[in-house]
A and B are shown apart, each in its own frame.
Chain A
């Protein structure tokens, strides 16, 4: 008798527990994700807001004197910081436009099936899975004079000797960065635009053809308008990622010559982890984050709104 009651109680209790789990299942499932994101992004951000307003220096030990806006002012008065913002914007915009153009051409070329297309698709997306530092290293090995073959290849294509220091000479360093970035991220544009192109029904072109549209007109009045929403999604994602450029710089130009190719992330990395100006570093990273958030919101509102509608 006793034992059955005990089993009954246990069963009832476990049923009660499982019904409690059932009732609150939605919160139980979502809690771990919310917790880790709170702990490792929201909390550090709040913490860094505090360090932006104090002098945070390892040599001072546990003392953190309040300095108000000095850290922000320090960054703002640093010409390297302002230049880095400009460089970051220019490189991100340049990379996005170049990759959009190349990706679109490549997607158009790959749209129709042909023999070996599947193998090429696998090859074409490989760069997306390569670490950006390694991409920087690829191009460092490839472009660096004298042992890299880039100058040799150019001298085959263009008669005469060339001696371009792709990783040291000022205008060329930007070209090198853009080439390396395009190598890695053109496939991003390519696969997204290919999916977009494939989703345009053939009937659209048949209709355009019946209406007597020339191929070029079909491209500008059928393909582009139908592709536009997807182009905007791709551009939004790519630009925001490109604005965080760091890894390729780290292995390709190392910010040089001098501080010429310092992107904002690279600048803040130097501030924080080479010079250990942690207060200035966090102040700068807050400003950078606000700017990027502003641009992201603007892009999402401006560009993604028509897609959702």
Chain B
């Protein structure tokens, strides 16, 4: 330290990393400021569109703030064109999918982490689902749901919430399995062994020791599963046209048809659909990196 002080500059890593001598941090705040504007302007535009009266929506030049804001679109969006149905379906599907994916995924991850079930092959088999292009699955699943599920299972899965929940669970599993797999592998085994010595069954050890200890991992895995099913579009637009229509499908319908006549309603519904994004954005901060890379990078 003394030699550096003698040389007249401290090893301020931020300055060095940026690659330029930044005596003041003005460049980094310029970067942050520009990004913030880019991030917020489209959000602002939708927020304002949701309270504009109909006449201002298609006005040219564009209206940045309406003279008389209205809350009409919020009421209309839920009544018109599948708004309320979409919101309800999306909530139900996302919650049920989350529960399924977390329970099934945690169980499998625990088995793989503690007993090395299936070794690396099984783990990578689950991971490969993350790489699979959804379009390759959705065409045959559409055929199976619409033509054969009634014949084989006695229950037509097309346009049902059940059908979507099943498919979403499968596609949320790579997240939950891998997040919990890396989590369990870092957890000490000794506590569970102690419980087994004390006469617990394996199931009890899992339920009373491992599961509570893994709670933070479970929360973030659940959040990822929820967000996945809340935002998924391709499967929903193919499988759920009417009865099981989800929020993204209802929104895309509003936005792309009607020549812009429903922009206000679509914007209002979008604002509603962003609420979970905000809540989970705050909730997930600590586990975000691990979730995005399925445990490949520790955040």
**Which residues does A use to contact B, with CB under 8 Å?**
18, 21-22, 25-27, 29-30, 32-34, 36-37, 39-41, 43-45, 47-48, 51, 56, 102, 105-106, 108-112, 114, 120-134, 137-142, 146-149, 152, 183, 186, 188, 191-192, 195-197, 199, 202, 205-206, 208-210, 213, 215-216, 218-219, 223, 230, 233-234, 237, 240, 243-244, 246-247, 250-251, 254, 264-265, 268-269, 272-273, 278, 281-282, 285-286, 288-289, 292-293, 296, 304, 307
Contacts and interface: CB of A to CB of B under 8 A. Distances in A.
Listed from nearest, the 4 A-B pairs whose CB atoms lie closest are A129-B277, A131-B231, A48-B140, A33-B108
Given A126-B278, A209-B4, A273-B238, A111 B17 contact: yes
Interface string B118-143: 10001001100101111111111111
B62 A147 contact: yes
A236 to B, nearest CB: 9
A25 B202 contact: yes
B201 A18 contact: yes
B288 A191 contact: yes
Contacts of A216: 19-20
B258 interface: no
Contact of B166 (A30, A40, A132, A213): A40
Interface in B195-248: 201-203, 206, 227, 230-234, 237-238, 247-248
A37 B173 contact: yes
A126 B277 contact: yes
7 contacts: A26-B114, A29-B108, A37-B126, A138-B270, A141-B42, A208-B16, A289-B133
Given A126-B281, A139-B42, A285-B133, A120 B108 contact: no
Contacts of B227: 129
B277 A191 contact: no
Interface residues of B, number: 112
A108 B18 contact: yes
Given A195-B289, A286-B136, 19 more contacts: A25-B115, A27-B111, A32-B104, A44-B141, A44-B144, A109-B29, A110-B32, A111-B17, A112-B28, A126-B277, A129-B276, A131-B251, A133-B233, A138-B270, A146-B62, A218-B16, A244-B133, A285-B133, A288-B136
B115 A26 contact: yes
B112 interface: yes
B20 to A, nearest CB: 6
Given A26-B111, A138-B43, A288-B136, A21 B202 contact: yes
Contacts of A269: 135, 234, 238
Interface in B70-106: 104-105
A130 B273 CA distance: 8
A191 B299 contact: yes
B187 to A, nearest CB: 16
A205 B16 contact: yes
Interface string B274-293: 10111011101100110011
A250 B276 contact: no
B32 A131 contact: no
Given A41-B170, A108-B17, A51 B107 contact: no
Interface of B: 3-4, 11, 13-21, 25, 27-29, 31-32, 35-36, 38-43, 45-46, 49, 57-62, 64, 104-105, 107-108, 110-112, 114-115, 117-118, 122, 125-126, 129, 131-144, 166-167, 169-170, 173, 177, 201-203, 206, 227, 230-234, 237-238, 247-248, 251-252, 255-256, 260, 263, 266-267, 270, 273-274, 276-278, 280-282, 284-285, 288-289, 292-293, 296-299
- Most B-side CB within 10 Å, residue of A129, A138, A206: A129
A108 B32 CA distance: 10
Contacts of A56: 143
B138 to A, nearest CB: 8
A194 to B, nearest CB: 8
Contacts of A123: 36, 39-40
